[in-house]
Structure 1
Amino acid sequence: MTVGAVLPSLRQNLRLLPGVPDEDGAPRWLLFDPVRNKYFALSAEALYLIRHWRAGLAVGSFLLELKELGPDYSAEELAAFVDFIVSNNLNEARSVEDSARIYQQYRAQVLGFWRWLIHHYLFIRIPLFRPDAWLSRWVPRLNWLFAPVTHYLVISLGLLGLVLVVRQWDTFWSTFLHFFSLEGLALYGLTLVVVKSAHELGHAFAARRQGCRVASMGVAFLVMFPVLYTDTTDAWRLRSKSARLRIVTAGVRTELYLALLATFLWNLLPDGPFRSAAFFIATTSWVTSILVNISPFLRFDGYYAFSDWLGIENLQQRAFAFGRWRLRQLLLGLKDPLPEPQPRGRARLMVSYAWATWLYRFFLFLGIALLVYHLFFKVLGILLFAVEMLWFIVLPIWREVSVWWKRRRECSMGMSRLLFWVLATGLLIWSLLPLHVSVPVPAILKAQSEQTLFVSEPAAIAEVRVKQGDLVEAGQLLLRLESEQLNFELQQVEEEIRLAKLLLDRSGSSAREKAGRAITEQQYRRLLERRTGLLARQGRLQVRAPFAGRVTRIERLHPGVWVGTDMPLLSVVDPTRVHVEGYIGEQYLDLVGAGSKGVFIADRPGAAALAVEIRDVDIGAVFALPYGELGSEYGGNIAVRRIAEDRLVPEEGRYRVAMVLDAPIAAGIDARLPGLVKVEGEPRSWLWYQLRRMLAILVRESGF
């Protein structure tokens, strides 16, 4: 701006209001633009310029007048203030040049379709109506809602309702089941709309009672999910911090009051939709409202309350500047001055807040990216996921790293900073190097030959010839059982055989007797076959050892006890031949194979580690875990879920691994012993493995 330039005319509809003192206690004023419903904070120096503003006067003459009045302003200071007036369109536009400038500003703000979609698909605000006149009529009529008597009455009713609910807690909680139906979901949606409308009306009524204008109310779409909003920008004109805080917290307080009343009314209402709605308001509604609105990291009620409580306007923007300043100082040693003068404690607070917000936003945007991917059909989901990741996560990081690269010559590396970068570089190199991976394989050490013996048919114990721990030979008789029904059938068959044989011995030589003899011989042969079958069944009642070994897990059996076919009698194991059976996770399949070495570490305290070698890995995952002691339900390392009484299904793919011991166990083993096998897997790069996993997921999800 030249000295001969003239001062522009200020708009006549601008309003000058007293404002809140700044953070240092200096007085400030507010310049209100009613067209855009926007406030501008002015310092005492800026207010002095406006008070003596003379439109059409040359800049040089205005500076001389100011100097004669007392304050001495430089041409640069006045030029900056004029630029502020013009860029925010606070001046009157009466010339062609002014119209062209405003048009250019408008064109610069108009985004193309794709840029608009990127900027607004996460949050779109649509004003529905201007409630200020309606609020002005109703606020005087509803002042009783804000009276102390109402406050204490609602709290008293809520506490009374809570006491009554505790006395019938099971009935209260069972009301939740009503929402698992079409009618319940519709009721849930309607109740949610009513409660959130009351939340926004709480903001609106609180603002109007403080004399603030509520410019608009409407609906906003947060990741395509509709939420209500209330424009309470006019609250910035309030000089009382407590008054502004009452407006900010009015929505949450309204929901808490509704929850207290709903808790009391639940005890009075009969079973039905209204009682279910009271249950929802008393429980779910206010909890979700607090969790969303209380967070200071998003621009909701909690953020504005936190900013006002600290007395820091534009908290996030200013804190982010402090966060970048401190990050560059720590990592690069840049000697930049503070973004703005602040006490040491306040500066640390803003740095901590900025870093916490960045971390919170990283996981938030990552979650939103996954949400939009699953929310829309596949092509649009992939596109929105990529936009979310690139625009909100990758691009900000890239911009900051670009600044670091441009200013690399200004960096100063002290000993501690150099040590940090050396460690970071070493960590990166370590993640790239192919290193051996220790693969955990939950496993069972058990006898290779193990058999549990059952009886072939219901019978009674006649004789027990072994006890727990006895060594037996193959074929040795262990138990002798008898069946009265079988003995009766065998005795009956023997008698029929004797009679048939007697008939055959007495038969004559006539033709008639010869024909009867043939029938008797056929019956005699059938009786002999039946006796052979009965004798075989009787032989199976003599329980013998299937192989040489040791008797384990024998039941408490004694003569006279009846046993059924589903009752295990005893087990025989060969303690000299043992092997290990494990179940490996899907992510480790490419690291192990036949011949891989490992060590079995038993869960039993004091047990020695055993060297093992993988013999075989199944090509298909198991459908159910055969050994319950390896599952998480029984303290094992494999996460499982129970789908039947005796069926445990692994949560992730598990593959059976057969392993043999490198050396036999001298003492042998009588029972299954759970443990963990540490297998030395093939070397691989951790970073390359993670990249491969991400690429595999992208390839899998990109299939149509």
Structure 2
Amino acid sequence: MSTARVLPPLRQDLRLLPGAADENGAPRWLLFDTARNKYFALSAGGIDLVRHWQGGATLDDFLQTLRARGKEYGAEELAAFVDFVVSNHLCEARSAEASARIGERYQATVLGLWRWLLHHYLFVRIPLCRPDPWLARWTPRLSWLFTPAMHYGVLVSGLLGLVLVMRQWDHFLATFLHFFTVEGLLLYGLTLVLVKSVHELGHALVARRLGCRVASMGVAFLVLFPVLYTDTTDAWRLRSRSARLRIVTAGVRAELYLALLATLLWNLLPEGPLRSAAFFVATTSWITSLLVNISPFLRFDGYYAFSDWLGIENLQTRAFAFGRWRLRQLLLGLNAPLPEPQPRARIRLLVGYAWATWVYRFFLFMGIALLVYHLFFKVLGIALFLVEVMWFIALPIGKEMGMWWKQRRECAINRGRLLGWGLAAGLLLAGLLPLPVSVPVPALLKAGAEQTLFVSEPAQVIEVGVEPGQRVVAGQVLLRLGSEQLDFELGQVEEEIGFTRQRLERSASSAQEKAGLAITEQQYRRLLERRSGLLARRQRLELRAPFDGRVAHVEQLHAGVWVGAEMPLLSLVVPGKLQLEGYLGEQYLELVKSGDRGVFVADRPGEPPLEVEIQDVDIGAVFSLPYGELSSEFGGDIAVRPVEQDKLVPEEGHYRVSIMPLETTGADLDARLPGVVRVEGDSRSWLWHQWRRMMAVLIRESGF
């Protein structure tokens, strides 16, 4: 590297400020770029170079000047610092060559429209206002918000509100379901804007109260979802770590205070718009504060608070370096030096944090990829999905694998590492080998022949002739009912029949009646048909056993009770016969076939297992589940969603399975008995199955 380079002159608008000590307690200074509102931390060596900087001098002359003042620096060290100054635009460009160099660097950073969208659709910031003058006026007037009395008053009020909410938790939870309506979503959006405005205002007020300038406030788009932000870069000038921590946590504290007050108000306000508003403010504040802002894995408040609490700057960058170092050491045995000197406990902390962040980011980016796929029309959604997966998941993994390949000659293989790789290979092989699968089939055990008896019209019970458990024979009277209205109509018809018969008998004595004989005979036939229908109705009110069997259930009936039409009155079963009806999930459809055997295990304790055999599997999935006992709504294994007309629609495809019991245990079953049939299905490879499922989804979604 040539030392004939000339030191460029430093910009005159740069400011040198005392900064907080580093992690080891050594003093540091801050170089503040006022034009870009950006701070650069300098160590003792860096501050000496800035103080003695000689613009226009060569590197050799500057090194001699430093040695004359007792400062020892190497040529490469000085050249690296000059590169830092130039690359961060901290020097003046007085020559055409320097200006051209700056222009070239700027042009290299300029992206076309599509490249800009590709790099910034996940996150882009738009400043809306510069609130510092307004904060300078209002921060002294709002000093009462930061008093201990205000702090403890809000805490006591919030705790009281939480206690009151727990006493009426069911009502509070029922109100939460209002979120899932169109009106609820609109109110939620407005409430989120209010809560996040308070959040950002908390950052700004605390920063200004501690003497920091708030450069801007605005809106940022995170995967095209708008979120507010506050620029508190000036907090770097604070030398107290606790003061910086107060600024970072101010937003979350403001949200939690708002949630505590809104929780109390929800208990005190009457039903109406104000109480609904208090509910939305409370729940939105609790959810966004606890689930989003305090997470240390995202670069939100939780991350910066965690970083300040540990006293580690650039936490993720440094932790990732330790995570990669430890991963290469464990998997490949690479004996690389530490990325930086750190105590052993701090190294373990950084490695654990890095690995946890990688796992969190994997699922986060996969979720974002699915989100952007569903947010846009299909062609653009697929393109953005692939960009998301390739850029944020596949590319980092590929780079790390490439580094492993480059350092393959330095790997150290020992017995423990071979055991680990062998275990991983064994798991992979287990995923590839076809293994038998135990298939669960939610099923219902019921009587082989079962019939529930109903009444055809409203009637009054006259006599109950059976009891639950009683054996009956076909044709035996089980229940007698009567209807005063039916008896009245039948009496009227009998009178009309008698009167019409008399008219027919006297028809020969009167010439006028002979002329209307045909009409009278037709009326007579109609009356006879009507009487026949009424007698049939009365006969249906006498319920008889349709087959030999046993009474399984009788409603609470006694003489004089009125029953409604189509009301179930009692049920009969045929002893000695059992029937199983199951519902097979779509993912197991290819594993089960007719003739397979299994075991039925009932949900009721004490019931012995029952040997069964698969008879038939329907070729079409059911539209609704006929048995509520098997649904998730009533504690069953099949996930359903209720729809209109009391239908239970399975969330995934399920196919009806006819199952034959091979034993007669439990032949006198009175009620339907839910359970699970375990069938030893055909063998299949787990990885191959997952691959087929993924390809099926891709083929399905690729259709336009």
Q: Do the structures match in fold with TM over 0.5?
A: yes
Contact 2:18 2:28 in 1 (8 A): yes
1-structure distance, mates of 2:235, 2:474 = 94
Q: CA deviation at 1:74?
A: 2.8
Q: Which residue of 2 aligns with 1:156?
A: 153
Matched residue type, 2:139? L
Deviations 1:8-53 (A, max 9, x none): 4333333322222221122222222333332222222233333343
2-structure distance, mates of 1:479, 1:41 = 94
Q: Which residue of 2 aligns with 1:296?
A: 296
TM-score, normalization by structure 1: 0.85
Q: CA deviation at 1:233?
A: 1.9
Q: CA RMSD in A?
A: 4.3
Deviations 1:226-279 (A, max 9, x none): 233232222212212122223223333444555667678889999987776666
Between 269-278 and 206-215, report the one with greater CA deviation: 269-278
2-structure distance, mates of 1:25, 1:497 = 117
Q: Which residue of 2 aligns with 1:126?
A: 126
Contact 1:586 1:653 in 2 (8 A): yes
Task: Give the secondary structure class of the aligned counterpart of 1:442.
Answer: strand
Residues 1:423 and 2:420 are matched in the alignment: no
1-structure distance, mates of 2:499, 2:272 = 82
2-structure distance, mates of 1:608, 1:690 = 35
Q: CA deviation at 1:438?
A: 2.0
Aligned pairs, number: 700
1-structure distance, mates of 2:430, 2:126 = 52
1-structure distance, mates of 2:396, 2:559 = 83
Residues 1:21 and 2:21 are matched in the alignment: yes
1-structure distance, mates of 2:222, 2:207 = 24
Distance 1:478 1:329, change over 3 A: same
Deviations 1:111-147 (A, max 9, x none): 3433322221111122344444x25xx5266324235
Alignment of 1:259-278 (within 5 A): none
Q: Which residue of 2 aligns with 1:390?
A: 390
Deviations 1:614-660 (A, max 9, x none): 22223333343322322233332223344468644433333221122
Matched residue type, 2:431? S
Task: Give the secondary structure class of the aligned counterpart of 2:598.
Answer: strand
Q: Which residue of 2 aligns with 1:619?
A: 619
Q: Which residue of 1 aligns with 2:328?
A: 328
Contact 1:176 1:276 in 2 (8 A): no
Q: CA deviation at 1:453?
A: 3.0
Matched residue type, 1:600? F
In the alignment, structure 2 segments of 5+ residues that lack a partner are none
Matched residue type, 2:78? L
Distance 1:24 1:656, change over 3 A: same
Contact 2:188 2:284 in 1 (8 A): no
Distance 1:253 1:525, change over 3 A: closer
Contact 2:614 2:658 in 1 (8 A): yes
Deviations 1:347-369 (A, max 9, x none): 11111111121122222222222
Deviations 1:174-201 (A, max 9, x none): 9999999999987766665455445434
Q: CA deviation at 1:341?
A: 0.4
Alignment of 1:13-412 (within 5 A): 13-132=13-132, 134=133, 139=136, 142-146=139-143, 150-153=147-150, 155-156=152-153, 159=156, 192-193=192-193, 195-256=195-256, 280-281=280-281, 284-285=284-285, 287-289=287-289, 291-412=291-412
Q: Which residue of 2 aligns with 1:586?
A: 586
Distance 1:287 1:557, change over 3 A: closer
Distance 1:505 1:308, change over 3 A: closer
2-structure distance, mates of 1:256, 1:291 = 12
Contact 2:462 2:482 in 1 (8 A): yes
Contact 1:252 1:286 in 2 (8 A): no
Contact 1:598 1:613 in 2 (8 A): yes
Q: CA deviation at 1:517?
A: 8.9
Contact 1:21 1:28 in 2 (8 A): yes
Q: CA deviation at 1:507?
A: 9.5
Distance 1:86 1:471, change over 3 A: same
Deviations 1:414-454 (A, max 9, x none): 33322222222222222222333222111112222222234
Q: CA deviation at 1:345?
A: 0.6
Between 66-75 and 445-454, report the one with greater CA deviation: 66-75
TM-score, normalization by structure 2: 0.85
Which of the two has higher C-alpha Rg? 1
Task: Give the secondary structure class of the aligned counterpart of 2:142.
Answer: helix
Task: Give the secondary structure class of the aligned counterpart of 1:111.
Answer: coil
Q: CA deviation at 1:286?
A: 6.2
Distance 1:411 1:77, change over 3 A: same
In the alignment, structure 1 segments of 5+ residues that lack a partner are none
Matched residue type, 2:339? P
Matched residue type, 2:100? A
Distance 1:256 1:543, change over 3 A: closer
Between 35-44 and 59-68, report the one with greater CA deviation: 59-68
2-structure distance, mates of 1:187, 1:316 = 36
2-structure distance, mates of 1:601, 1:304 = 54
Deviations 1:285-322 (A, max 9, x none): 46524543322222222222221221111111001101
Distance 1:569 1:258, change over 3 A: closer
2-structure distance, mates of 1:271, 1:664 = 59
Matched residue type, 2:368? I
Contact 1:441 1:582 in 2 (8 A): yes
Q: CA deviation at 1:576?
A: 2.6
Between 351-360 and 557-566, report the one with greater CA deviation: 557-566
Deviations 1:507-556 (A, max 9, x none): 98999999899888878777776666566556555544323333322456
Alignment of 1:399-478 (within 5 A): 399-455=399-455, 458=459, 460-461=461-462, 464=465, 467-476=467-476, 478=478
1-structure distance, mates of 2:129, 2:500 = 109
1-structure distance, mates of 2:271, 2:39 = 51
2-structure distance, mates of 1:470, 1:115 = 81
Between 171-180 and 374-383, report the one with greater CA deviation: 171-180
2-structure distance, mates of 1:183, 1:467 = 54
